[in-house]
Structure 1
Amino acid sequence: MSTPAIAPVQTLLHQAAALLVYQSVLKGDVGQAFLTLLQALRHAERNTAAENIDCLRAYGDWFSALADCKQSWQDYLLTQLLNAENPFTQQVQRTDLSDLAPALIAAARHDLQVLQQMYMCSSQQLSQSVKVAAHLTVAPVAWGQEAAPHLHWLRSTLDVVDHWGEALEPLAAHYRQHGVGLLARYKALRWQSGQLVGIATPDPIQVTDLVGYEAQKEALLKNTAFLLNGYPALHVLLYGSRGSGKSSLVKGLLHRYGAAGLRLIEVAKADLVALPAIVETLRDLPQKFIIFVDDLSFEEDEDAYKALKVVLEGNLTARSQNVVVYATSNRRHLIREFFGDRPRPSDGDEIHAWDTVQEKLSFSDRFGLTLTFEPADQKTYLQMIHHLAKQAHITLDAAALEHQALQWATRHNGRSGRSARQFIDFLSADLAMN
């Protein structure tokens, strides 16, 4: 792709106003600052002192916006293009390009060629334009940023076509694989205040960081692989000892399979009533989703479990094949039961009281796969300690390390993966300061 001189400012403004489906590309702070700069350059042609100052301010705002996002103007445009959520990207991620309305395809091609003109505006060229418009002796500093490696494939794709509209097919394939909007920007999300919210810095834990419970780990990895490859996958309940790594194992799946289209959505127990609606939102999207419910249990008077039951068992709506629920709990029976719940000959409130009891006891059975995490024995605990110590580059004598680790377990939270991690973190800081 050649890089001719930028189009006249008036032409660029007209083209930006003529975008049909990709308007969101220019709606962020950087895009709006770019349009404001173009407006200022156009008005500066009148050559009044006040408007020359406006031009300088507009350039400064655009420069600052690029510095904030730590991207070049070109990389910013490409990122916005990949993440754009509009009628074209939403539809093409669900269906073949050939099945879309011809008018929608034509609109997308038109917009891509417009964005190509915006892409041609390098920071150096705009700096020179400001120098001329404001009658400066020296051009303002041009923003520079190293090209992002993850955008190399798109730059290479666009470099070999004369018009960006010709690159519609590889873009459509990207939208199908990686999603659009929030799902393109984030691999981890949470349901909050009635909507999905992206998690910018998910827990960096890796599956390989976890020692012990190898059978449980293998079963969970296998079930997740089923999901990613389009086979029926089971809902999973991970229950057992606190601090055994149940939650960490689920979080670690994101880093193992995120590049393969996996998305992890955290839903708090208080928001379980929205679970059927969340699943319907995700249905038919190309990505695969794990709905993660941590520390799950219900009091006897709570009925939020009914919404979870609908998702686990289904209703008249067919089960979504791209969504599974992974829940962790310290309790095998998720609904709290009291001895008073059990029917006695004197019960007068409910004739079939055992049905209620059985519903409570069998709720956890509705998960297709139940993985049990028993308390770590001393051998497993010490394996965790040595594994984490190696990762932390701790070179303490093995006997001394084990002695201190066992003392820590006795004085603190017992033998568990969590306790091992806390000990290693404390020891690393202590050794670093001494």
Structure 2
Amino acid sequence: MAEAMPYVPRLADALIRDLLAELPALAIVGPRASGKTTTAVRHARTTIHLDRPAEAIAVAADPDAALRGLDEPILLDEWQEVPQVLGAVKRACDTEPRPGRFILTGSVRAETETQTWPGTGRVTRLEMYPLTAGEQYGSTAAPLVDRIAEALGDGPASGQPNRQNPAPDPKQSGLDPWTGLRVDAPSLPDYVNLAIRGGFPQAALTVGERARRHWLNSYVDEIVTRDASAAGASADASKLRRYFEACCLNSSGVTDDATIYGAAGIDRRTALAYRELLDRLYVIGDLPAWSSNRLKRLSRMPKRLMIDSSLLATVTGANERSVMRDGDLLGRLLETFVVAQLRAQATISEHRCSLYHLRQHHGRHEIDVIAELDAHAVIALEIKATASPTADDAKHLAWFRDETGDRFLAGIVLHSGAATVRLGTGIWALP
């Protein structure tokens, strides 16, 4: 019998532990097969798998009795299979609101966001995404935005470090000074292969390339068939697949709805329904457009991104060779990959971290990602497929710094080399 894969520590582990120490119930939500249950089991003392018919039937018959007297925290895995269990959780929390009673896991977004959901005020939501590259290599270092905020907290406008947490020394041998991790000088093809591999634990960690390809193709098949049906949608599988593929091909693009549904060969009404469905299933994760009273003529359209770069690679059939020969695909793949890392980190940030993009009309100025911390300070990030970034790669960041004044904390050019380089006042190039 094959040995079980050792547990891979997750960025969310410490936060889950802390929240359960103070709150009665926690709902861990996110894409299917992203590791939610594997992680939740490590924080629970009792596990009920509601996607198993025998356990579901017993709980559905009398939810209150089924939960009574069990060792806590009680994990209700795939709770949406027996939605009436939420009423029992509500009643239990109302009666005895002590910390650490319940953990709920699920892969559908909408139920936890409706105003009439029974968990309002009782169950706290935490989003958990596929593995980051750091997690795959054993790192649970603090989010990049937290490290930048800590290092530059006293001088956002000037880009000067504070005295307690000086800005990183680019000459620190062998380590990325912003993350504290050893830098092994990965090449651009290395990053491409990381992006193709993606972050779904089973595909990324347990199988070889051929099996991974088949696993991911099956994942896409199930999204457009079984998962869509389970989410309560009435969708034509072939049309939904075409729409899903059109979204993948436009990942990291600021693309209007008409372009997407035109490419899929469906009408606007169907496209909007499919768009909502894929959002509910945590397959798509858009970046909203950032705005400010100081800046005019900004596009309000979101940037569309797949939740994991492996989905883009799967739909396009991308491999290292094809990506390295297609500049447009390379840019879309790397940006989807990087945003997936930032999205996973944002959920556990010490700050209220929201991710956006910026684009002026006609593309005069564009910034790939803007991380807004606590609704004020902003970190602007550009993603470049180059190992030798220059000041020209940071020209939009310099413009943004001058326009945003004291809100500007740092500008970062994320590149495919190994060096940390200062490119201007308040602007760095980082691996």
TM-score by length of 2: 0.28
User: If you compute each CA radius of gyration, which structure gives the higher value, 1 or 2?
Assistant: 1
Structure in which a larger fraction of residues adopt strand:
2
Structure in which a larger fraction of residues adopt helix:
1
TM-score by length of 1: 0.27
